[in-house]
């Protein structure tokens, strides 16, 4: 939220905020067309008719660090404290398709997530956790197929039928080219792999959400709310087109698409953003793709509170920020929510901080009245007007992406990246000049910060992972691994075979993440940015 010298205020997207809203703000408005009923097209008021009045959103805490055993202990704690779903963070080598003993993995093993090199690690990660009873989200993109198949293999060992498994893989590689950078393959083979995942899950894992099309990382890189939903929905359109071009009917896969957004402290704009995103997506799926199944038109989304807004200065203040951000997500109609821990601007969250983050959601769900009514902000002059403004701004940006040939073509031109960087620079200047107040950073500072003892990852983890890999390679059937990887290479070289089936057999034979991704790199190549 910024304020000019004249006192006029504007949103994070640069849209004006009026000091007073009344009926005149909605002149020419058609509420029946723009609102509808909750659970009905165009889903402005939420994707389900009862929303939280029957049950609250899924409380899904994002966690993962060090070894699979350490992360397993954290997951068990979260379940004991009342979390409804698990959300797995993987370390950088896993995200980039490298084994823990690869030269490029040195110094990064277990640092920003859990190290998973093979199905052996996945088995330890979910030891004692009944996969038929929990919903699991995995933040993994380029190697998403591998981690999903490992999860399925572990479930099979537990005796859990695949049709009982519920969860989500992020699997959104397009935003990696725009804002995050953990890509492996070029865009076209990456989109092929995405389509193969859609087909595989339709047959094998019917309750699994095959993709979480993500604006969160673009927002963390500096995207405005309007840019966040515009570029995210444009990527969604590209995925739908890819699947349709591969011969799939839109209603065969679109009901399992999901989205992932940030929630900032600018509560009114965030609520408007979520409402506008639902409305735009419903119309795109209905009018552009001729979807017939209402579930194909529902924009279901997970939300995470804004990590980029957390500060290392006076970290306890982040508890207030996260509470406001979580409230914005709930009032905006999220389906699941992760609340950041107050100490994440310093290091990995401690057990106490992670528990407090979960308790924040529980207070909102069980001690407030926001779950008593379906759509608390419906009819608000301010929110409905902001929703219209947000929709218009996002559609303008989506048109600019379309004019450049769609999301992939615009990515190759650097359009989304440059727009986000321009907005990030604007935010940095406003903060530096004091136009944008950040409590504890450019106003209300302390002369001396209180000491804080962060959680630290044991550097010996890397050596232990290397030992596990050496033992795995010594104990497994090497000929079976070689044969399985050869079948995978053959499938990747063609265009008609779904690569997930031979990939699953290679992982069952205990091929590693690095070995499987290495085969695909050999066929498809690696993405190299043009800049």
Whether the per-residue pLDDT at 3 is higher than 60: the answer is no
Residue with tokens 């940015």: 529
Residue with tokens 């034979």: 509
pLDDT tens-place string over residues 61-88: 888 888 999 999 999 998 998 887 899 9
Nearest to 232 by CA among 302, 295, 328: 302
Q: Is 456 exposed, middle or buried (0-12, 13-18, 19+ CB in 10 A)?
A: exposed
Query: Which ranges of 171-293 would DSSP assign to H, the alpha helix?
Result: 174-175, 187-204, 216-220, 225-245, 250-253, 267-283
Instruction: Please state the rounded mean pLDDT for residues 471-492.
Output: 98
**Quick one: pLDDT band at residue 305, thresholds 50, 70, 90?**
very high
Whether the per-residue pLDDT at 4 is higher than 60: the answer is no
Report the CATH architecture of 46-364+377-433: Alpha-Beta Barrel (3.20)
End-to-end Cα distance, the chain? 32
Residue 433: C-alpha distances to residues 261, 390, 444 (Å): 28, 26, 15
> Do residues 376 and 370 make contact, with C-beta atoms less than 8 angstroms apart?
yes
**Quick one: pLDDT band at residue 137, thresholds 50, 70, 90?**
very high
Q: Is 22 exposed, middle or buried (0-12, 13-18, 19+ CB in 10 A)?
A: exposed
Whether the per-residue pLDDT at 7 is higher than 70: the answer is no
Amino acid 23: pLDDT: 81
| Spatial distance between the Cα atoms of 323 and 360, rounded to a whole number of angstroms | 6
Residue 448 token pair: 């001396």
211-214/336-338 β-pairing: unpaired
3 state SS for 216-251: HHHHHCCCCHHHHHHHHHHHHHHHHHHHHHCCCCHH
Return the minimum-mean-pLDDT range out of 1-10, 78-87, 406-415: 1-10
Whether the per-residue pLDDT at 114 is higher than 60: the answer is yes
**φ/ψ bin of 75: left (φ > 0), alpha (ψ from -120 to 50), beta (otherwise):** alpha
Query: Which is more confident, 33 or 321?
Result: 321
Amino acid 5: pLDDT: 38
- Report residue 6 CA to chain centroid gap: 38
Residue 490: C-alpha distances to residues 2, 88, 493, 525, 527 (Å): 56, 31, 5, 15, 21
Amino acid 118: pLDDT: 98
Query: Which ranges of 42-118 would DSSP assign to H, the alpha helix?
Result: 68-80, 92-95
Residue 426 token pair: 């604007």
Residue 7 token pair: 């006192």
Residue 423 token pair: 């907005």
| Spatial distance between the Cα atoms of 296 and 129, rounded to a whole number of angstroms | 31
Amino acid 40: pLDDT: 96
Amino acid 6: pLDDT: 41
Amino acid 32: pLDDT: 61
Around 294, how many Cα atoms within 13 Å sit in the side-chain half-sphere? 10
pLDDT tens-place string over residues 319-373: 999 999 999 999 999 999 999 999 999 988 888 999 999 999 999 999 999 999 9
Amino acid 454: pLDDT: 78
Instruction: Please state the rounded mean pLDDT for residues 368-393.
Output: 95
Residue 451: Cβ within 10 Å count: 5
| Spatial distance between the Cα atoms of 87 and 133, rounded to a whole number of angstroms | 14
Residue 458: Cβ within 10 Å count: 12
User: What percent of the chain has pLDDT above 70?
Assistant: 97
426 CB-near residues (< 8 Å, 6+ apart): none
pLDDT tens-place string over residues 427-438: 999 999 999 999
């Amino acid at each position: 939220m910024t304020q000019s010298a004249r006192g006029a205020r504007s949103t994070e997207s640069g849209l004006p905020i009026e000091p007073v809203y009344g009926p005149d703000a909605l002149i020419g408005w058609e509420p029946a067309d723009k609102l509808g009923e909750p659970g009905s097209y165009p889903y402005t008021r939420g994707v389900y008719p009862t929303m939280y009045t029957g049950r609250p959103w899924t409380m899904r805490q994002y966690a993962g660090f060090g070894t699979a055993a350490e992360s397993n202990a954290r997951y068990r704690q979260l379940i004991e404290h009342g979390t409804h779903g698990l959300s797995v963070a993987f370390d950088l080598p896993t995200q980039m398709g490298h084994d823990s003993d690869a030269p490029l993995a040195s110094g990064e093993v277990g640092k920003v997530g859990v190290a998973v090199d093979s199905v052996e690690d996945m088995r330890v990660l979910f030891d004692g956790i009944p996969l038929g009873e929990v919903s699991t989200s995995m933040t993994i993109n380029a190697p998403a197929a591998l981690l999903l198949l490992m999860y399925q293999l572990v479930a099979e060992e537990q005796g859990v039928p695949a049709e009982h498994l519920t969860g989500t893989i992020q699997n959104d590689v397009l935003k990696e080219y725009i804002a995050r950078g953990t890509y492996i393959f070029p865009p076209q083979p990456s989109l092929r792999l995405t389509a193969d995942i859609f087909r595989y899950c339709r047959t094998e894992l019917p309750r699994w959400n095959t993709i979480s099309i993500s604006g969160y990382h673009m927002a963390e890189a500096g995207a405005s709310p309007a840019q966040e939903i515009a570029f995210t929905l444009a990527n969604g359109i590209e995925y739908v087109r890819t699947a349709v071009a591969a011969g799939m009917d839109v209603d065969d896969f679109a009901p399992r698409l999901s989205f992932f957004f940030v929630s900032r402290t600018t509560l009114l704009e965030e609520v408007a953003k979520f409402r506008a995103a639902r409305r735009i997506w419903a119309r795109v799926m209905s009018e552009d793709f001729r979807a017939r199944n209402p579930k194909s038109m529902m924009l279901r989304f997970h939300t995470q509170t804004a990590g980029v807004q957390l500060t290392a200065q006076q970290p306890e203040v982040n508890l207030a920020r996260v509470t406001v951000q979580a409230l914005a997500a709930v009032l905006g109609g999220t389906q699941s929510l992760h609340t950041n821990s107050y100490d994440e601007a310093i290091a990995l969250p401690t057990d106490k901080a992670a528990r407090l983050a979960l308790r924040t959601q529980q207070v909102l769900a069980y001690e407030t009245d926001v779950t008593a009514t379906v759509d608390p902000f419906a009819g608000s002059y301010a929110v409905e007007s902001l929703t219209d403004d947000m929709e218009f701004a996002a559609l303008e940006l989506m048109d600019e992406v379309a004019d450049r040939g769609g999301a992939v073509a615009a990515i190759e031109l650097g359009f989304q990246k440059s727009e986000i960087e321009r907005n990030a620079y604007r935010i940095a200047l406003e903060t530096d000049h004091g136009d944008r107040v950040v409590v504890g950073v450019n106003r209300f500072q302390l002369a001396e910060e209180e000491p804080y003892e962060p959680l630290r990852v044991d550097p010996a983890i890397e050596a232990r992972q290397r030992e596990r890999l050496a033992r795995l390679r010594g104990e497994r059937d090497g000929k079976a691994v070689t044969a399985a990887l050869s079948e995978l290479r053959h499938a990747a070289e063609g265009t008609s075979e779904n690569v997930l089936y031979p990939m699953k057999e290679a992982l069952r034979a205990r091929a590693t993440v690095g070995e499987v991704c290495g085969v695909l790199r050999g066929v498809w190549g690696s993405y190299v940015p043009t800049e």
